Chain A
Amino acid sequence: GENVEQHPSTLSVQEGDSAVIKCTYSDSASNYFPWYKQELGKGPQLIIDIRSNVGEKKDQRIAVTLNKTAKHFSLHITETQPEDSAVYFCAAAETSYDKVIFGPGTSLSVIP
């Protein structure tokens, strides 16, 4: 089955700096890669996703990149703000309506 790894497990950045979280996956059949943000006491919430026919996707301060050959994908947050502090999960699935397997999570702290 699919296995998703994620690094780093914790990340601390100064407000305004960039944050990068990297993930790898094992199943070459995976084609859908969402990213979720989980705030304290709440369920995860989708922030951005990317499909295998696209190498990069941007949404304001957030960008994701995908390298299918290497089975790597990354989340980039620019101009970080304190409200970006949360746990971020990468995930992988064969299709957008298949079961989603999550990475272990990255706890991001943005220091004002």
Chain B
Amino acid sequence: DAGVIQSPRHEVTEMGQEVTLRCKPISGHNSLFWYRQTMMRGLELLIYFNNNVPIDDSGMPEDRFSAKMPNASFSTLKIQPSEPRDSAVYFCASSPGQSNTGELFFGEGSRLTVL
């Protein structure tokens, strides 16, 4: 399996622009997580889905952030409008779900820079 695939790997944009980050989880995994990593705040859980349904979005910073999972093989994290403080590495991770060992499989991340 190719693992969790994220795109783009790097994104540089200007303040106020819309940003869309994409994730393809490992086939057969039932849970999907979006994390944000910064030096100041470490790895923060933004939202997670189980069987394509959002279970907990309490980590989403504000209304500018939204996430969707239209099917089992695709998820997006959108920021609109983007701000410089959104600059971070955004990770998507998937997990087999309730029958599993608990391991999260992370993608390589999308590094976002908002100027």
Contact = CB atoms under 8 A, between A and B. Distances in A.
Interface of A: 1, 32, 34, 36, 41-46, 49, 89, 93, 95-97, 99-105
A99 B45 contact: yes
Instruction: Describe A's contact surface by its main secondary structure.
Output: loop
Nearest to B102: A96
B40 to A, nearest CB: 10
A97 B29 CA distance: 11
Interface residues of B, number: 25
A100 B101 CA distance: 13
Nearest to B104: A100
A99 B33 contact: yes
B35 to A, nearest CB: 8
A45 B55 CA distance: 23
Given A89-B43, A97-B98, A99-B45, A46 B103 contact: yes
Contacts of A101: 45
A44 B93 CA distance: 9
Contact of A43 (B55, B95, B107): B107
Contacts of B58: 1
Contacts of B101: 49, 96
Given A43-B106, A43-B107, A96-B101, A104 B45 contact: no
